[in-house]
Amino acid sequence: MERIAFFDARGYDRTYFDALAPRAGLEIRYLETRLTPETAVLARECAAVCAFVNDDLGEETLARLSEYGVRAAALRCAGYNNVDLRAAERYGIRVFRVPSYSPASVAEHAAALLLTLTRQTHRAFTRTRERNFSLEGLVGTNLENKTVGVVGTGRVGIRFAGMVRGFGAHVLACDPEPKWGAGLEYARLDELIRRSDVISLHCPLTPATYHLISRAAFHDMRDGVILINTSRGALIDSEALLDNVKSGKVGAAGLDVYEEEADVFYEDVSSRIMRDDTLNLLLSQPNVLVTGHQAFLTKEALRAIAETTVGNLRAFFDGGPTENELRAREGQTV
């Protein structure tokens, strides 16, 4: 049995990995803590680590993992902005990911955020639980005939585009590699920002996309624009977002991710004083809806993540090829 140190483990992870790992000859050591240079020692005597979006796979962590004999890092997610691929190569640690687990899950969550904000169902839910059935202040807006800008037309972006087109919206897309067969109208990012009533982000976080939605970008947006982000938090300059929500430039924002989420998301911090003033103020706004990086959280996605991750690890230990391996020349380092 090959031993795996499984960091940032949750109960919903165990349900699906426990069903597959033993049959694949994997012994999983579940650890609730995140992977950091300090916690890397917990992987001692393990051949591989399994990591998630907020685990640290930077150079210092990778160096320590290498000292402890770790030979592989299996990401149970698609994004890999938290991995220094060049350092992994230097330390002889091979890195694998789950490139696609359930595009529909993330796209549906983005659509749910958008519909909740346009029809204010989150506010109505709170009111009616208190037996307040007044409709004052709950006037919504249709998606029909609106322009929805979709930034990134990979599997998730294409699914989301199809959903909003079903509501009668016009889709304007932006991607360095356009999917011309999808029947979408493509435009440069600056044009998309100027023309869109809704902007939804479906692109990876790289040095080139860090703060893609910058203070300057907000300036060029339409008044009352709705912003949706189910990709990575640092695509948006959070302080600039807060300022534009307060000024009214941004009509609403639906965020499943946040650029400083690592110490907050996936945890119950309800009894702690949260020192992130930007997040505190965003949460206090009636037109901002924040979920805790849960767009992936469906039964179908969790099953697919476990299947692909276990398959990646088994292929590694068997010495076979896998198309899901990341190499430094193919990605960006942190």
The residues assigned a catalytic role are 232, 261, 293
Which residue's structure tokens are 């706004």?
285
CB 287 within 8 A of CB 61: no
CB 202 within 8 A of CB 157: yes
The enclosing H or E element of 2 equals strand 2-6
Nearest-10 crossing angle of helices 121-129, 103-119: 70
Question: What whole-number distance in Å separates Cα of residue 313 and Cα of residue 324?
Answer: 10
DSSP secondary structure string for all residues of 17-53: HHHHTGGGTEEEEE--SPP-TTTGGGGTT-SEEEE-T
CB 17 within 8 A of CB 60: no
